[in-house]
Structure 1
Amino acid sequence: MLRGEITTAIRRALMQELAAVGYGRLSIEAVARRAGVSKTAIYRRWSSKLDLVLEVVATAAGGRLPALDTGSLRGDLALLFQVVAHALRHPLASQIIPDLLAEAARNPTIAETLQRVLRARQQEVAGRLISRAVQRGELPAATDPEAAVDLIVGPLYWRLAIARTPVTDSYLETLVESVALGLGMQDALPRQREAPVTG
């Protein structure tokens, strides 16, 4: 394999091994076997298991998202929730994230890295969404960006990664309206259907 292919194979093998055995039982030897490379190939790139895990998780968290600019806050929220729900439904993510959160409670380095990379990503994506909504006049200028980001990313993450509750299309639609209302969008309440005229 070429150098780039080896690195890609190692990263893929790490994610699969993490999902299979968790961080505590993860070993460089097992990752090397799964990737079809030598342990030396891994140690040339990362000095330890912890360095390998943190770098790969940070890279995954920083992956590119589609442009979330539909022209409206509701549209942006709906698209963001669909993307996040799809990512968190992936078997690897649904197994790895809870395990790393549990490990973070015991390992300050993992906790700091997860906090830094995930929070930065959340602020980047949701922060732009809020900024555009304020510019369009959909949200008050005084909207608190940090609280808004928590309100946007918190419910869906909790449902999928912690509570492990299925997410339906109707739930996502309700979530869009609830978050829009919580953020202070003036017309965020669902529009009521007019009652039929009786003669």
Structure 2
Amino acid sequence: MTDHQPVRAADRTERIKGAALEVAREAGFAKLSIEAVAARAGVSKHTVYRRWPSRGLLFLDAVLSLNTAGLGHPDTGDIVADLRTVMTTATDLLGRPPWGPLYQDLIGEAQHDPEVAAALNQRFIAPQTADTLARLKRAMDQGQLAPDFDLDLAMEILSGPLYFRLLITQQPLTHAYIDRVLHAVFAGMSPRSQYDGRP
């Protein structure tokens, strides 16, 4: 009997996360409650609280359980093409349900809950940042980027437009927009001789 207990616990955890996503999508994060999730999952609220001390941390786990495959950077030897692959994948995720609206809500909750903010950074934003920086560093070592360019700043410049549209202007995130961003950024990051003839 005990051999099956971990499986049942894992199934229950997944059912609770699925219920949290359903409630959030139907009613919005503002109306997400532990009680509503527990009722949807068919468990007691104490079962939920044993796993997550707050609705914010439950929501974080639920959102991050969604598939984000394709956000790892390939290395084809062409830094612009590789960044475009990842950034267009990200726009496809952010630009439509379920990931886009749920991630917007998660970012909003992180502004008010330091625990959610720290966990979101540790589990999602920091690994994505590290992956991008590693790819940029390899490109710099290969001479595809200016040797003195600030790679941390490059990461912020590349990701900033996506968050600006997602959270501020709510304009569409499109592949054409990503192409515009990459063109603007790489005109400044690439060795100058490739663009304006200066040494």
Structures share fold, TM-score greater than 0.5: yes
The answer to whether 1:76 aligns with 2:76 is: no
Question: Is the contact made by 1:104 and 1:111 (CA closer than 8 Å) also made in structure 2?
Answer: yes
Q: Supply the AA of the counterpart residue of 1:110.
A: V
- Report the secondary structure of 1:81's partner residue: helix
Counterpart-to-counterpart distance in 1, 2:15 and 2:193: 49
The answer to whether 1:106 aligns with 2:120 is: no
The answer to whether 1:93 aligns with 2:93 is: no
Equivalent of 1:172, from 162, 167, 178? 178
Equivalent of 1:156, from 159, 162, 170? 162
Question: Is the contact made by 2:33 and 2:55 (CA closer than 8 Å) also made in structure 1?
Answer: yes
**1:34-57 CA distances to partner (integer Å, 9 max, x unpaired)?**
334443432332233233234445
| Aligned length, in residue pairs | 189
Counterpart-to-counterpart distance in 1, 2:76 and 2:51: 40
- The TM-score, its normalising length taken from structure 1, stands at 0.76
**1:75-133 CA distances to partner (integer Å, 9 max, x unpaired)?**
11110111111111232332223333333333333334444444413322211221121
User: What's the offset of the Cα at 1:68?
Assistant: 1.9
Question: Is the contact made by 1:73 and 1:129 (CA closer than 8 Å) also made in structure 2?
Answer: yes
Q: Supply the AA of the counterpart residue of 1:10.
A: I
From the superposition, tell whether residues 182 and 119 of structure 1 become closer, same or farther in structure 2 (CA, over 3 Å): farther
Question: Is the contact made by 1:138 and 1:186 (CA closer than 8 Å) also made in structure 2?
Answer: no
Counterpart-to-counterpart distance in 2, 1:59 and 1:50: 14
Superposition RMSD in Å = 3.0
Counterpart-to-counterpart distance in 1, 2:19 and 2:185: 37
From the superposition, tell whether residues 4 and 106 of structure 1 become closer, same or farther in structure 2 (CA, over 3 Å): closer
User: What's the offset of the Cα at 1:153?
Assistant: 1.1
Which residue of the partner structure matches residue 18 of structure 1?
24
Identity value in percent: 32
Question: Is the contact made by 2:94 and 2:101 (CA closer than 8 Å) also made in structure 1?
Answer: no
Question: Is the contact made by 2:139 and 2:145 (CA closer than 8 Å) also made in structure 1?
Answer: yes
Question: Is the contact made by 1:54 and 1:110 (CA closer than 8 Å) also made in structure 2?
Answer: yes
Which residue of the partner structure matches residue 7 of structure 1?
13
Equivalent of 2:152, from 146, 149, 163? 146
Question: Is the contact made by 1:28 and 1:39 (CA closer than 8 Å) also made in structure 2?
Answer: yes
- The TM-score, its normalising length taken from structure 2, stands at 0.76
Which residue of the partner structure matches residue 33 of structure 2?
27
More contact order relative to length (CA 8 Å, sep ≥ 6): 1
